[in-house]
Amino acid sequence: MTQIYTILFDLDGTLVNTAPDLMAAHNHVMRKFGYTEKKLDDIKSLAGKGAWVMMQRSFKEEIKSEKMKKEMTKEFIDFYAKNIDHHSKPLDGCFEFLKWAKTENISMAVCTNKQEKLAIDLLKKLNMYEYFDYVAGSDTFSFNKPDPRHLTDVVEIIGGDLKKTVMVGDSEVDALSAENAKLPFILVKDGYTEKNENEIKHNDLISDFVGFNEIIKKYL
């Protein structure tokens, strides 16, 4: 059966509120290596570009030791992988929308800068994985967001049409990815970014997925 449309989603802060579990992993590493812990709002502004970037942005000084970087990143990923779904929750209306989209024969994929294995594991544990035709993480290709190929290659893989595709995300990285790929972009409010919604280019703005099908119908 031919897919009529494709929706690409970011993961953290878009489909799922993962900040509490990211904070737990981040603060575990900070405690172990003698650095200052962060609050939940801090984590939201630091997340979205991978584990090391998130940690590095929370240091007052630059960590130059490659050994230290590898140790801290490994500690973060190991802790996070074991506790990935303790407090993470899908956004309101998410399951209802995913079910509706499947009945409408809309193809869906995840394009995230989280490691692919972690992204798939999280989606499976939250019973969301079955709704997606493909999951691309930071290590799926030799490039990641905001490189437009992270989006366009996924659309090609699942047999979609770029002219019938939209991107949904919560940050300027997602917005830039969509712009570079020449795709419409729907922004999720209060995302994992330091910028406010007025600073991020978008075609539509949502708070969650309640009633999201009515917005998507404009693009079908």
Q: What is the set of active-site residues?
A: 10
Report the chain's terminal Cα–Cα distance, integer Å: 16
**Paired sense of beta strands 5-9 and 165-169, if any:** parallel
- Long-range CB contact pairs, 180-189, < 8 A, 24+: 180/146, 180/147, 180/148, 181/148, 181/151, 181/152, 182/148, 183/8, 183/151, 184/219, 186/215, 188/13, 188/14, 188/91
- Residue 24: strand, helix, or coil: helix
Residues 6+ apart with CB under 8 A from 92: 208, 209, 210
CB 132 within 8 A of CB 154: no
Residues 6+ apart with CB under 8 A from 145: 10, 111, 112, 113, 151, 173, 174, 176, 177
